[in-house]
Amino acid sequence: MKSLSDALLYGIADLGYVRSENLESVVEKMMEGGVDVLQLRAKGASEEEIESYARRLIPITESAGVPFILNDHPELVPSVGAQGAHVGQDDFEVSDARWRAGRALAGEVALPLIGKSTHSLAQAKAAIEQGADYIGFGPLFATPTKPGRPAIGVQDIRAVQESVAVPVFCIGGIKLENLEQVLDAGARRVVIVSGILAAADVASYCQQVKSVLLRRSAI
């Protein structure tokens, strides 16, 4: 399984953009394109539906050696065999999410990964104090994925990178067109949602993004 510390491109299989019947084919293309972490996001779906979606995708991510993360439902991590869960500011505390995600894994050395959404430097620091394994930082730009949430801009990216010791994945309206701007502001890792899922060639789009990220990480 790929290490989170080595991950550069975080992809999200969002049922708001992908039809259920196309889930496997889209995720296979994301794996082909070099996505390093995959999250399943299915807002409004029942736990039974989310578990069903996850069981369809786990074999694909496992074959690629890519960590599989559930959005909002840490309690489903043990039953589907996911590597962790991601929670928002208005969801569980990190410790609560980890307990829910790991309660069936007692005694194992590796804890489930818990990511936390953050929208400011203060929230980023708080998430690390809570024990988050990584954070999402954004939304940098306005995005239809999070309607109504104001963009925070790119000015605090470098400060966040310098203040926390865990992987920081910048998120929110990031696409190939503005990727260099985000990296110039200090980002090292990104989450891309609609840019990937709306691409005519998902694998090629991911490959182009990954190429930029690898080139910039080598500087």
Domain CATH number, residue 132: 3.20.20.70
Cβ atoms of 200 and 179 within 8 Å: the answer is: no
| Helix (H/G/I), strand (E/B), else coil: 215 | helix
- Can you give the pLDDT at residue 111? 65
- Can you give the pLDDT at residue 110? 56
Which candidate in 100, 117, 175, 189 is catalytic? Answer: 117
Which candidate in 29, 116, 146, 189 is catalytic? Answer: 146
Structural domain for 68, as ranges: 4-217
- Can you give the pLDDT at residue 8? 98
- DSSP letter for 46, please: -
DSSP secondary structure letters along 107-174: T-SSPPEEEEEESSHHHHHHHHHHT-SEEEE--SS--TTSTTPPP--STTHHHHHHH-SS-EEE-SS-
Which residue positions in the chain have pLDDT lower than 50?
104-109
43 flagged as catalytic = no
Nearest to 68 by CA among 49, 84, 47: 84
Rounded to 10 degrees, what is the CA torsion of 113, 67, 171, 175? 170
146 flagged as catalytic = yes
Q: Give this prediction's pTM.
A: 0.94
- Can you give the pLDDT at residue 145? 67
175 flagged as catalytic = no
Rounded to the nearest 5°, which phi and psi values hold at 151? -70, 145
Which candidate in 41, 98, 116, 175 is catalytic? Answer: 41
- Can you give the pLDDT at residue 149? 75
Number of domains in the chain: 1
